[in-house]
Amino acid sequence: MGRFARVPPLTISHIDTAWLWRYTQTQQKIARSFSSQVELIKRYPQHHFVASSAQQYHWLEELYPTIYRSVQEQVKAGRFHPVGGSWLEHDCLLPSGESLCRQYLYGQRYFQTKFGVRCKEAWLPDTFGYASQLPQILRLAGIDYFFTQKLSWNNINVFPHSTFRWIGLDGSQVLSHMTPVDSYNAQANFSEVVKGVENAKTLGSTDQCLLLYGNGDGGGGPTSGMLEKVNPSVQPSEVADCDSFNDSKPQPMSIPRCPRLRSARCLTSSKPSWSRRQMVRAYQHGEESCTLSYIVEYVIPALIRLPSHH
| C-alpha dist (Å) from residue 140 to 101, 112, 135, 250, 272 | 9, 16, 9, 19, 35
Q: Is 149 exposed, middle or buried (0-12, 13-18, 19+ CB in 10 A)?
A: buried
Q: Which of 280, 51, 241, 264 is nearest to 151 (CA)?
A: 264
Q: What letter would DSSP give residue 296?
A: I
Q: Known catalytic residue: 126? A: yes
Buried b (16+ CB within 10 A) or exposed e, 219-228: bbbbbeebbe
Q: Which residues contact 33 (CB under 8 A, 6 or more apart)?
A: 13, 15, 51, 219, 220, 221
The answer to whether 143 touches 119, Cβ cutoff 8 Å, is yes
The Cα 282–Cα 109 span in angstroms is: 32
Strand-pair category, 9-12 with 49-51: parallel
Q: Which listed residue (16, 126, 144, 182) is catalytic? A: 126
Q: Which residues contact 157 (CB under 8 A, 6 or more apart)?
A: 268
Give the catalytic positions in this structure.
126
